[in-house]
Amino acid sequence: MTEFKNFIGGEWVGTDRTFEDRNPVDNSVIGLVHEAGRAEVDAAVQAARAALHGPWARMTLPQRVELLYAVADGITRRFDDFLAAEIADTGKPHALASHIDIPRGAANFKVFADMIRNVPTESFAMATPDGGEALNYGVRTPRGVIAVVCPWNLPLLLMTWKVAPALACGNTVLVKPSEETPATATLLGEVMNEVGVPKGVYNVVHGFGPDSAGAFLTEHPGVNAITFTGETRTGEAIMKAAANGVRPVSFELGGKNAGIVFADCDFDAAVVGIARSAFENTGQVCLGTERVYVQRPIYERFVDALAARAKALRPGRPGAEGTTFGPLISQTHRSKVLSYYEQARADGAVVVTGGGVPDMAAGLKDGAWIEPTIWTGLPDGSRVIREEIFGPCCHVAPFDDEAEVIAKANDTPYGLAATVWTRDAGTAHRMARALDVGICWINSWFLRDLRTAFGGAKQSGIGREGGIHSLEFYTELRNVCVKL
Ligand code: NAD
């Protein structure tokens, strides 16, 4: 049985409190996770603080860039280990994890290494009252110790998306992976040691949120800034912890994203795009679409075509031929998603397809399997339309004109992403401007250029990361004013 230990100052640290890590495909126990208490979190913070003044701080920028490239190559060298670990933790299909999670997880280190190598800072020459001149220039310094609190849906990818820019900027990090997916963050510790990242620069503490490693870490006064991806409600708790010491936060939170399909769209492309956005990763993508609005002339045809794609998804073991659909992350999460399936029925939904649990083969019956589900006919006030479900499901409603669909799409406390399908350039640009979201895709979904700003509006987040936008959070911008 694998043991997932904490990674503190480059060493593996066990504790006497362990919990089970289960495979959602069949509910088998994969390993035992060593939960960090206050003492381990404190030791990790001290290690990260000490590393701010060690060899890491003395590295030149080219040396740091080279090391980040070595981390990326180290992940790629152990691609199969990372892939196996991620699949065992999440149950996601092999094709998905091997094309997205692991390669993009590795690529994050190169992208942010390139960014930091090339980014300029500002400078302003100014006239002074005595007729002379002064020169102002910006210097970016690391913020210090960064806590990185992660979710379970894209474990390696979302963790490295924050660890890579944090390290590129010269900080040290303390990662708290989700209790559901401890494996790849732990493996990354091995890679850090293999490629020679100085001890204490990358640390991992395992455990849960409240009264566990998550809370101990975010409450710790030795942490200078907190970056978090997860539920909006958790973000509220972390923000309260961050208020002590007025520490900055960067939040990527929940969503209840709209997909908007105009009658003039490329019909087949829109069906494929919306099906991906609703069902990929078993609907466990923060950017996913749970509310679909389709213009009336193509509404019925669209619902039928989307249902056909949902029915074609094949649940099964991650590596089995033909598997295109994994389980949910856990039995607990399945209970939550199924409660919304019940709520939809209670609120009078027409269940177009799905709505329950599939009949799986022997050996898989204890997994967290669920059917991809499409509803129509729900009233706008239904909780199913208003709350984030984070499962493979969507409600499809018709609309007549642009103003109506903009009002419906924006009628939510969330504001993460939207996907709009139209062939009319004017419609596309007007929609992009009118929707209250951080990311608006036109005729696409989850197409990411890592140089662009990523983040949510309203209750979907605080701040933007990606490209040079990451510098705002991971560095202090100091102005130096020199009287000449
Ligand atoms: P979650 O909020 O339950 O947990 C996320 C992490 O926070 C876990 O590591 C957990 O242990 C920790 N945590 C929980 N309570 C804490 C506390 N009080 N103090 C400190 N840490 C605490 O989220 P999840 O269920 O793991 O992930 C799903 C959620 O993440 C969804 O809401 C989804 O929309 C969101 N998400 C958002 C983005 C984005 O980019 N906006 C990306 C992925 C997921």
Q: Which whole number is the average pLDDT over 378-405?
A: 98
Tell me the pairing of strands 225-229 and 202-204: unpaired
User: At 411, is the pLDDT very low, low, confident or very high (cuts 50, 70, 90)?
Assistant: very high
Domain-wise residue ranges, the chain? 2-253+460-483, 257-449
For residue 232, the CA-to-ligand 1 centroid distance in Å is 8
Q: Which whole number is the average pLDDT over 343-360?
A: 98
Across the chain, mean pLDDT equals: 98
Contact present, 78 and 187 (Cβ < 8 Å) = yes
257-449 — its CATH code? 3.40.309.10
Read off the pLDDT of residues 228-271 as tens digits, 9 standing for 90 and up: 999 999 999 999 999 999 999 999 999 999 999 999 999 999 99
Q: Which whole number is the average pLDDT over 363-371?
A: 98
> What whole-number distance in Å separates Cα of residue 218 and Cα of residue 223?
7
For residue 461, the CA-to-ligand 1 centroid distance in Å is 12
Q: Which residues contact 254 (CB under 8 A, 6 or more apart)?
A: 230, 231, 232, 286, 388, 390, 414, 416, 459, 460
Enumerate the β-bridge partners of residue 482: 135
Contact present, 226 and 243 (Cβ < 8 Å) = no
Would you state the pLDDT for residue 311?
Answer: 98
The model's pTM:
0.97
Percent of the chain, pLDDT > 70? 100
pLDDT at 405 over 90: yes
Topology alike, domains 2-253+460-483 and 257-449: no
pLDDT at 1 over 90: no
Residues designated as active site? 252
Read off the pLDDT of residues 4-14 as tens digits, 9 standing for 90 and up: 999 999 999 99
> What whole-number distance in Å separates Cα of residue 368 and Cα of residue 379?
29
Would you tell me how many other CB atoms lie within 10 Å of the CB of residue 346? Answer: 10
For residue 237, the CA-to-ligand 1 centroid distance in Å is 11
- Amino acid sitting at position 72: A
Would you tell me how many other CB atoms lie within 10 Å of the CB of residue 452? Answer: 11
> What whole-number distance in Å separates Cα of residue 276 and Cα of residue 417?
14
For residue 231, the CA-to-ligand 1 centroid distance in Å is 4
What are the C-alpha distances in Å from 297 to residues 261, 264, 278, 349? 11, 10, 22, 21
Closest by alpha carbon to 253, among 468, 455, 26, 40?
Answer: 455
| CATH superfamily assigned to domain 2-253+460-483 | Aldehyde Dehydrogenase; Chain A, domain 1 (3.40.605.10)
> For ligand 1, which residues put their CB under 6 angstroms from it?
149-153, 158, 176, 178-179, 208-210, 214-215, 218, 229-231, 234, 237-238, 252-255, 286, 388, 390, 416, 456, 460-461
pLDDT at 61 over 90: yes
Read off the pLDDT of residues 295-311 as tens digits, 9 standing for 90 and up: 999 999 999 999 999 99
Contact present, 183 and 91 (Cβ < 8 Å) = no
Helices (H), 244-330: 267-279, 299-312
21, 148, 149, 280: residue to mutate for ligand 1 pocket, most atoms within 8 A of CB: 149
> What whole-number distance in Å separates Cα of residue 309 and Cα of residue 409?
24
Q: Which whole number is the average pLDDT over 29-56?
A: 98
Q: Which whole number is the average pLDDT over 52-59?
A: 97
For residue 107, the CA-to-ligand 1 centroid distance in Å is 23
E strand or H helix that includes residue 130: none
Would you state the pLDDT for residue 455?
Answer: 98
Atom 15 in ligand 1: residue holding the nearest Cα: 209
Q: Give the atom of ligand 1 at the shortest distance from the alpha carbon of 254.
A: 34
> What whole-number distance in Å separates Cα of residue 219 and Cα of residue 12?
23
Would you state the pLDDT for residue 258?
Answer: 98
Atom 26 in ligand 1: residue holding the nearest Cα: 151
- The phi and psi torsions of 415 (rounded to 5 degrees) equal -160, 50
Would you state the pLDDT for residue 138?
Answer: 98
User: Is 295 buried (19+), middle (13-18) or exposed (0-12) by CB count in 10 A?
Assistant: buried
Read off the pLDDT of residues 90-124 as tens digits, 9 standing for 90 and up: 999 999 999 999 999 999 999 999 999 999 999 99
